[in-house]
A and B are shown apart, each in its own frame.
Chain A
Amino acid sequence: MSKYTEDDLKKELETKEYEYGFYTDIESDTLPVGLNEDIIVAISKKKEEPDWMTEWRLDAFKKWKEMKEPEWANVKYEKPDLQKISYYSAPSNKPKYNSLDEVDPELLETFKKLGISVDEQKKLAGVAVDVVIDSVSVATSFKDTLSEKGIIFCSMNEAIKKHPELVKKYLGTVIPKTDNYYAALNSAVFSDGSFCYIPKGVKCPMELSTYFRINEAGTGQFERTLVVADKGSYVSYLEGCSAPSRDENQLHAAVVELIALDDAEIKYSTVQNWFPGDSEGNGGVFNFVTKRGLCENNAKISWTQVETGSAVTWKYPSCVLKGKNSIGEFYSIAVTNNFQQADTGTKMIHIGENTKSTIISKGISAGKSQNSYRGLVKINPRAKNSRNFSQCDSLLIGNECGAHTFPYIETKNKSAKIEHEATTSKIGEDQIFYCNQRGIDTEKAIALIVNGFSKEVLNKLPMEFAVEAQKLLEISLEGSVG
């Protein structure tokens, strides 16, 4: 076996192109670029939305105009010109599919290339998938099975039309329109997304899943997800993302709201693999996402994320632990390579008594990337006996990357117990040596070590996702280690 040196690894990594970078030639119906009230009204019209929704959007737009782009994150990038983006792009020959067989075969081909084809997933895991390409929901599988149980799983657009009372009641309650710059922008221009409602006491029999993809050049993806788990229900929700490689930066500003009513549990898993830009740092997706969940009494929300893509990630899935005994969890793996920058973490807001939260964050930085964990644990005066445990570990690969930790801990209650620990280290030479000695080559050894490093989080993913995530980790880091 010829010796595989660090340089070889580096070279291979640099030349490694984004495997999912292809462009599906689907005719799409795109609105002119720019952002103003007319565009918003046009989006609303195209979606055949009721008046209250149009007004909701316009109100958000009004507030957005007064807001400024946040600059506090530990990332550097050229701000996207929001007037040069098309805010709506839908695959134009969009029929109303009843089954997957009717889906544009070219689209199905897309999923095959991605290795997670819809029908394959259907067979394998019984996953109900809602596919969102350029912010428009294309197909939803397993609708009948779900509707038997009273579960509503459809595109946001459909929900607005068919279940306006639910949407009206919950939309924007966890993340107000004015929450932040990108949430306000999303509220004004979101084109579609997924809506999910689990009725009282129902345990969703299968994993629900959404697949996002930005296809059209010069478009932004602004999807909106709303998951409501009524009293005593349970749902596990998966979300996957990818985008074709392009030279310019694409913008992704999504909003995800989770509402877990009394005794409900929501498990939300994300595998984010947007195009990270090439090895020179050109292109890639700006991923500015706002995700937040609200827990009522005895409810539980668990966020799991595997972040391997995007040029710039700015994402803090949070839990508002409002009810007594509610539980919030956050498990994250963030991998950055080349010129990627990630500023990600969570917020755990303890409001109710006996609330518990766990944060496990694993950051892996390689190449010239910067990886930051930014988290807030806030214990309000009424949150008696609340408990938090946080652990943030960073792994550095190569000497041109950076790993940063910014944990904020604010406590206003004496009975609270908080533990936070963070470590930063590199892969030990002795660990690699140990593997080498046993006939495992360096490349494999690193995959092994990184997998072990991230195991705590990978374990939290649903099985079929965990396999994919593990593969992604390997691809993202391939050859980056010496």
Chain B
Amino acid sequence: MSQLKEKLLSSFIAFEEQKNIDSYVHGIRTKAIKKFEKEGFPTKKMEAWKYTSLKKTLNYDYKLFPTATETLEFKDIKDFLIDDIESYKIIFVDGKYCSHLSETTHDGMDICILSSALSQSKYDLVIENYFDKISKKDGITSLNTAFSSEGSYIHIPKNVQVDKPIQIVYFSTGKNESVLYQPRNLIVVDENSHVEIIERHQSLSSNSILVNSVSEIYCNERSIVQHYKIQDDNRNASLIDNTFISQQRNSDYTLHTFSFGGELTRNNLSIFQNGERIESTIKGITIIGENQHVDHNTLIHHKKPNCNSYQDYKGIFGENSVGVFNGQVLVEKEAQKTNAFQANNNILISDKATINTKPQLEIFADDVKCSHGCTVGQLDKNALFYLRSRGIPEKEATALLMFGFANKVLSSVSIPEVKTRINNIIAKKLGVKIGFDI
């Protein structure tokens, strides 16, 4: 048994002692730790983790409960927020909620934190109905469930159009220690409501940070949820992001994942379509370089008829980076008239980079239209020559082409400020100083 696992198991008791053991969640946590004890951390022997090894990441001596917290000022974190728009903010620093940086509300909807939702009885009904209902019961998710105490809690009631986007940002100052964080988000969007969420994990230190995050998102009938994940952490931080989405009839869920940073990033994304006429769209841009590893593991589970799903993941891989895409589309017998599309396009710009991709379709219904396409290639030499012959330097020309390659994913971002921010990150990442605004 690994050291970290032992440490986690033994500290669970101490962790639970501080909590209210009569609560509903106590039972779930206890069950989850048992599950984790049995399953442990995923290994390369598991099909879903064939191309991603956690061995190195789990080798650090992580602290489980950060003690020292640094006080951050707005100016310290400004760069990591989309600061030029009005927004609700739920800011966590070193695993603790940071009220003076946040902007939450209880006015007609709940945009607040999970710890208060777990401790106050008025939230019991929501917690009992939604908490840990759709999350997978594998080792890594169970570990988060066992230690779940803090994170964002968002409940949007019926017929509400949330007036501004919600930004959820987890900072770690890390001071002088390696820390394992396990944030937990619960997002419930009721009938006919609309919300935009921007999520980010950011380490501010050079210590090794591992974040094992779990989010459960419930999109009830006719709701619209637009979700953005910005993963541009510094090079010592690793992220395992487990996101589970349950969609009801006529709901529309869109996720954009932008993966540029971090040492190891693993996105486990599962969407369950539980009603008819559901739209699910997931898109991603990955641009990584030296020693970076990004793994997208997606599942779209079509359970009911007349639903659509659309996946589009683009990746540019430099240096000795490793890119993994494992996209699964599962169409059940009942899910007739499903329309599922999946695309994964990759560009390798270094001989040392690796791409492993496995787009998989499992189909049990006959009247469906399912297709996937997957490519690995290079930039078009003719296009590059065209730009060069018009006086554009090689670096800029390459950047322009790469940007063009990724732009299809970016064009569907509905918040202009997010688009600009991503544009800037891409420009910085590619080392050019040109604006890509279009």
Q: Which A residues are closer than 8 A to B by beta carbons?
A: 72, 379, 381, 394, 396-426
| Seed contacts A406-B360, A420-B373, A421-B372; 12 additional CB < 8 Å A-B pairs | A399-B365, A402-B362, A402-B364, A405-B361, A407-B374, A409-B357, A410-B356, A411-B356, A417-B377, A418-B375, A420-B374, A424-B369
B366 touches A397 (CB 8 A): yes
Q: A405's closest neighbor in chain B, by CB?
A: B361
| Cross-chain pairs A/B with CB under 8 angstroms, 17 sampled | A394-B363, A399-B366, A405-B359, A405-B362, A407-B374, A409-B358, A409-B376, A411-B346, A417-B375, A418-B374, A419-B375, A420-B375, A421-B374, A422-B361, A423-B371, A424-B363, A426-B366
Contacts of A406 in B (CB 8 A): 358, 360
A411 touches B360 (CB 8 A): no
- The 9 A-B residue pairs whose C-beta atoms are closest, nearest first, are A396-B366, A414-B348, A418-B376, A420-B374, A424-B370, A423-B371, A405-B361, A402-B364, A411-B355
A325 CA / B83 CA spacing, docked (Å) = 55
A398 touches B366 (CB 8 A): yes
Which of A404, A408, A414, A416 gathers most chain B CB within 10 Å?
A414
A413 touches B348 (CB 8 A): yes
Q: B336's closest neighbor in chain A, by CB?
A: A399
Query: Is there a chain A Cβ closer than 8 Å to B368's Cβ?
Result: yes
Contacts of B376 in A (CB 8 A): 379, 409, 411, 416-418
Query: Is there a chain A Cβ closer than 8 Å to B378's Cβ?
Result: yes
Contacts of B346 in A (CB 8 A): 411
Contacts of B353 in A (CB 8 A): 412, 414
Contacts of B372 in A (CB 8 A): 405, 420-422
A394 CA / B318 CA spacing, docked (Å) = 35
A407 touches B348 (CB 8 A): no
Interface residues of B in 410-437 (CB under 8 A from A): none
Contacts of A396 in B (CB 8 A): 363, 365-366, 368
Contacts of B349 in A (CB 8 A): 414
Known: A400-B333, A425-B369, A426-B366. A420 touches B354 (CB 8 A): no
A409 touches B378 (CB 8 A): no
A412 touches B360 (CB 8 A): no
Contacts of A425 in B (CB 8 A): 368-370
Contacts of A379 in B (CB 8 A): 376
Q: B355's closest neighbor in chain A, by CB?
A: A411
Number of residues in B with C-beta < 8 Å to the partner? 36
Main secondary structure of the interface of A (DSSP, over half): strand
Q: B347's closest neighbor in chain A, by CB?
A: A414
Closest-CB distance, A180 to chain B (whole angstroms) = 17
A404 touches B362 (CB 8 A): yes
Known: A414-B348, A426-B366. A409 touches B371 (CB 8 A): no
Query: Is there a chain A Cβ closer than 8 Å to B47's Cβ?
Result: yes
Q: A399's closest neighbor in chain B, by CB?
A: B366
Q: A373's closest neighbor in chain B, by CB?
A: B361
B47 touches A411 (CB 8 A): no
Closest-CB distance, B50 to chain A (whole angstroms) = 9
A17 CA / B365 CA spacing, docked (Å) = 26
Within 8 Å by CB of B373, from A397, A408, A421, lies A421
Contacts of B22 in A (CB 8 A): none
Query: Is there a chain A Cβ closer than 8 Å to B17's Cβ?
Result: no
Within 8 Å by CB of A404, from B51, B363, B365, B374, lies B363
Query: Is there a chain A Cβ closer than 8 Å to B73's Cβ?
Result: no
Contacts of A411 in B (CB 8 A): 346, 348, 354-356, 376
A107 CA / B134 CA spacing, docked (Å) = 62
Q: B342's closest neighbor in chain A, by CB?
A: A422
Contacts of A421 in B (CB 8 A): 371-374
A381 touches B355 (CB 8 A): no
Query: Is there a chain A Cβ closer than 8 Å to B367's Cβ?
Result: yes
Contacts of B377 in A (CB 8 A): 416-419
A412 CA / B356 CA spacing, docked (Å) = 9
Contacts of A413 in B (CB 8 A): 348, 351
Query: Is there a chain A Cβ closer than 8 Å to B105's Cβ?
Result: no
Which of A72, A418, A423, A424 gathers most chain B CB within 10 Å?
A424
A407 touches B359 (CB 8 A): yes
Q: B346's closest neighbor in chain A, by CB?
A: A411
Contacts of B360 in A (CB 8 A): 404-407
Contacts of A403 in B (CB 8 A): 361, 363
Known: A418-B376, A424-B370, A425-B369. A404 touches B354 (CB 8 A): no
B363 touches A409 (CB 8 A): no
Contacts of A426 in B (CB 8 A): 366-368
A381 CA / B378 CA spacing, docked (Å) = 15
Contacts of B361 in A (CB 8 A): 394, 403-405, 422, 424
Closest-CB distance, B307 to chain A (whole angstroms) = 15
Contacts of B356 in A (CB 8 A): 408-411
Indicate with 1 or 0, residue by residue over B226-266, a CB within 8 angstroms of chain A CB atoms.
Answer: 00000000000000000000000000000000000000000
Which of B51, B353, B357 gathers most chain A CB within 10 Å?
B357
Known: A399-B366, A411-B354. A420 touches B378 (CB 8 A): no
Query: Is there a chain A Cβ closer than 8 Å to B350's Cβ?
Result: yes
A422 CA / B370 CA spacing, docked (Å) = 8
A251 CA / B374 CA spacing, docked (Å) = 36
